[in-house]
Structure formats: C-alpha cells, structure tokens
C-alpha cells in the first residue's frame, strides 16, 4: 500500500513538474509586445538653425506638432515613428520674419499646412544610439532623411502615474531639395541664407494606455 502511494505521489509530482516546465517554455516563447507612445509636445522641442548672411545663425522652432512612436525593444527594427508639424506654428523670435516664412515665398503655410515624417527603417547605432531613416515631406516634396537618435531613456513613472521616456535626434537637410529656394546675393559676396538646415529634436514620450 505504501509502495503504491509512493508511486502515485511520484507520478503526480512528475506530471506537475512537466506542466510547470511547459508553461515556462510557452511563456518564454511569447515575444514582448511593442509599446505605443505619444510625443508630449508640451515637454518637447523641435528646432532648426540656418546661417544668415554667412556670419551668424538664426534659430527657430515649431510650436505645434503631434507624433506617435511604436517601440519594440526586443527587435528595434520593427519600431515606427510618425510626426506631423503645423507649419504655421513656426517661430524665430521675429514676427516679420515669421510672416515671411509662412508666405508663398518660403513654406506657403496656407497651401501646405503640414510637414510630415514617417520612418521607413530603424536600426541600432553603437551601444545606445539609433539611426531612423524616413520620408520627410515639405511642400509636397518627399525626400529620405536619417535622424541620428541618442539618449533613449528607460521607462519612468511621473507623479500622476503615466509612463514616460525621452530621446534626442538630429539631422541636416538642404532646403532647396524641398522647394525652399529663395535667396539673395550679397554685394560683398555670399548669400543671405545658407542652404543647410540643422534640425534638432528633444522629445518626451508618454505611453499610451493599453
């Protein structure tokens, strides 16, 4: 009787161990889900800089934009980025200049109210950087650009329970590639505006509720 009880006990334990092992293996096989985030424009910055008359740098920013990011930490190449910028929100600290930039002479904000960016490829760069290649559309002209992303942080909880992350990114474009061709030659040589535009982003991401 004791032998039969012992055998039954061992058999039961073996079944339980097998079930637990199977459950663990199944759990390990389930990939981590990608997480979805909104760009918090109230705690982010989207800026640009251009040479003026070959001697100084004019800096500006866009105040209104929305963006979404899908992050797959297990396979970063599956991550996605979408950004929409309100052209009329451009600000350089000079009202007259801002009006000119919104006019048909430059961005033509009435006809082309949005600048967009959509990632087409995400890849790791070094230990903690990313290269995000995507299509930038300005004035209905679409060109590929590469954002150099650094400082992607881990997740934190804010005082209100929301989950947040942060990152920075930079790129450079030639404004003439996007139809921003206005310029004037200086009497002393050179031009009023440089062609190269440096773009920098500092973004705070807020995790979407699942």
Tens digit of pLDDT for each residue in 163-208? 999 999 999 999 999 999 999 998 888 899 999 999 999 999 999 9
Range of the domain at 20: 1-30
17 and 58 share one domain: no
44 and 75 share one domain: yes
60 and 128 share one domain: yes
Q: What is the pLDDT of residue 13?
A: 52
142 and 131 share one domain: yes
Q: What is the distance, to the nearest Å, from the Cα of residue 129 to the centroid of all Cα atoms in its chain?
A: 13
| Positions in the chain short of pLDDT 70 | 1-32
Look up the CATH number of the domain holding residue 113: 2.40.128.110
- Is the separation of the CB atoms in 119 and 80 below 8 Å? yes
Full 3-state SS string of 38-105: EECHHHCEEEEEEEECCCEEEEEEECCEEEEEEECCCCHHHCEEEEEEEHHHEECCCHHHHHHHHCCC
Q: What is the pLDDT of residue 197?
A: 97
pTM equals 0.82
At residue 17, φ and ψ (nearest 5 deg) are -60, -40
Question: What percentage of the chain carries pLDDT values higher than 90?
Answer: 77
9 and 36 share one domain: no
Count of structural domains within the chain: 2
Q: What is the pLDDT of residue 47?
A: 98
């Amino acid at each position: 009787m004791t032998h039969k009880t012992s055998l039954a006990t061992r058999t039961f334990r073996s079944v339980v161990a097998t079930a637990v092992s199977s459950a663990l293996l199944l759990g390990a096989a389930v990939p981590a889900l990608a997480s979805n985030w909104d760009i918090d424009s109230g705690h982010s910055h989207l800026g640009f800089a251009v040479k003026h008359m070959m001697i100084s740098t004019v800096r500006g920013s866009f105040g209104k934009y929305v963006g979404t990011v899908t992050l797959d930490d297990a396979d970063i190449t599956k991550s996605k980025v979408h950004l929409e910028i309100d052209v009329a929100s451009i600000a350089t600290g000079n009202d007259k200049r801002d009006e000119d930039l919104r006019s048909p002479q430059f961005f033509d904000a009435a006809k082309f109210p949005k600048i967009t960016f959509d990632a087409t490829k995400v890849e790791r760069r070094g230990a903690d950087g990313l290269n995000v290649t995507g299509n930038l559309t300005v004035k209905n002209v679409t060109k590929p650009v590469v954002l150099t992303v650094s400082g992607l942080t881990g997740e934190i909880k804010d005082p209100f329970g929301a989950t947040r992350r942060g990152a920075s990114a930079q790129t450079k474009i030639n404004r003439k590639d996007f139809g921003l061709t206005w310029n004037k030659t200086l009497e002393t040589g050179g031009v009023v505006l440089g062609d190269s535009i440096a773009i920098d982003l500092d973004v705070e991401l807020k995790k979407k509720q699942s």
